[in-house]
Each structure stands twice: as C-alpha cells, then as structure tokens.
C-alpha cells in the first residue's frame, strides 16, 4: 500500500477550479465521484453543481475534518474507504478528481472496467501518464484498448504553482468520455 502522505498535492486555485467544473459541464442531474477528497476543495465546488457527490477519503484525519465541515450538505457523501475496494454506482456517473498520482493506473482501470457506467472522467494526472492513455507520441496497449469505448484527451493543462506542495512533475486534467455505442 502506498503511504498517502506522499501522494497528496492539493489544488489551491478555487476560481480556476470553479471554471473547470463549469467547462466539464457538471450538471444538477449528475452523480460525481471525487477520489481522494483531501481538504475538500474539489468536493465543495462539485456540491454546488452536481445532484450527488460521492467523496472518497481514505486518510482518517482528512475524512473526519470533511465529515464535520460538509455534514450540512445533503448532496455530498463523505466516504472513509479505499476507493479501489468500493463498488461503483450502478447508474451513470462522472468522476472529477485530483487523484493520487501513484494510483493512476489502478483508478483508471477501475472506472473504465467493462461493467462500469462511467459517462465522463476529469482526472488530474501527471502529464506523462496522460500521454500513455492518449497514445502519444505512439499508441500504447492501454490507449488502444480504451479507445474503443472512450474518447481520451487533455482537457486542461495546470500550473505546478497552483498545487500545495508544488509537485515536481507537470499536471494535466485528463478527460475520458464514453463514446456513443448506439
């Protein structure tokens, strides 16, 4: 298991975050998952737009703080569980999350599983990891597999300075959109 203390880089730009959520077209009908909610910056913003927010936070310190701060928000559920062990919603859902970078492969595998009802995901990832999923500069096995069900692209480039602590890698928001299979 990865020590989560070393995988948390909190996004601090609330106004930019609000713009990203609007651009992602999060609506009042959406169920949205936030993986690794941390201090709750993303969770709080998602709660303004989504029908329901399921915020996973494994670290007990952050979980208890979020639980106290957000208990009055009826559309936000704070879940103290390992997201990778949890069940996904049985109906359509979206993901909007600054995920732990060390768990990128595991999280993408889980949300794109063939039984998953994922509509769209907007996940903060290391730029090099995004290239693997996009298939840039050349196709990878995972980009080829995912491309049958999902359109994958860089949604937004983020500034390192907008995170605390400042990461030593470039960060982007990777967008996965389920293709219309009809």
> pLDDT tens for residues 139-175?
999 999 999 999 999 999 999 999 999 999 999 999 9
Confidence of residue 3 (pLDDT cuts 50, 70, 90): very low
- pTM of the complete model: 0.93
Residue 54: predicted pLDDT: 98
Confidence of residue 83 (pLDDT cuts 50, 70, 90): very high
Angle among Cα 29, 32, 33 to the nearest 5 degrees reads 165
Is pLDDT above 60 for 5?
no
Q: Which element (helix H / strand E) includes 129?
A: helix 127-134
Contacts of residue 103, defined as CB under 8 A and 6 or more positions apart, other chains included, come to 2, 7, 84
Cβ–Cβ < 8 Å for 179, 149: yes
Residue 77 CB neighbour total at 10 angstroms: 15
CA–CA distance, 72 with 139 (Å, rounded to integer): 46
CA–CA distance, 145 with 131 (Å, rounded to integer): 14
CA–CA distance, 23 with 70 (Å, rounded to integer): 24
Q: For residue 134, give the 3-state DSSP assignment.
A: helix
Is pLDDT above 70 for 1?
no
Average pLDDT over residues 92-103: 96
Residue 181: predicted pLDDT: 58
> pLDDT tens for residues 24-77?
999 999 999 999 999 999 999 999 999 999 999 999 999 999 999 999 999 999
> pLDDT tens for residues 14-28?
889 999 999 999 999
Residue 182: predicted pLDDT: 46
């Amino acid at each position: 298991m990865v020590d989560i203390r070393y995988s948390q880089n909190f996004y601090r730009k609330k106004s930019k975050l609000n713009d990203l959520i609007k651009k992602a077209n999060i609506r009042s009908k959406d169920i949205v998952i936030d993986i690794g909610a941390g201090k709750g910056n993303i969770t709080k913003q998602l709660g303004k737009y989504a029908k329901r927010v399921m915020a996973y936070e494994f670290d007990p310190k952050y979980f208890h703080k979020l639980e106290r701060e957000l208990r009055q928000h009826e559309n936000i559920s704070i879940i103290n569980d390992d997201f990778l062990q949890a069940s996904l919603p049985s109906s359509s859902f979206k993901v909007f999350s600054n995920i732990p970078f060390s768990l990128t492969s595991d999280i993408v595998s889980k949300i794109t599983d063939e039984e998953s009802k994922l509509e769209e995901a907007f996940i903060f990832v290391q730029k090099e990891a995004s290239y693997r999923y996009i298939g840039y500069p050349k196709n990878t096995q995972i980009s080829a597999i995912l491309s049958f069900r999902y359109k994958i692209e860089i949604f937004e480039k983020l500034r390192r300075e907008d995170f605390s602590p400042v990461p030593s890698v470039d960060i982007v928001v990777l967008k996965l959109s389920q293709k219309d299979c009809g």
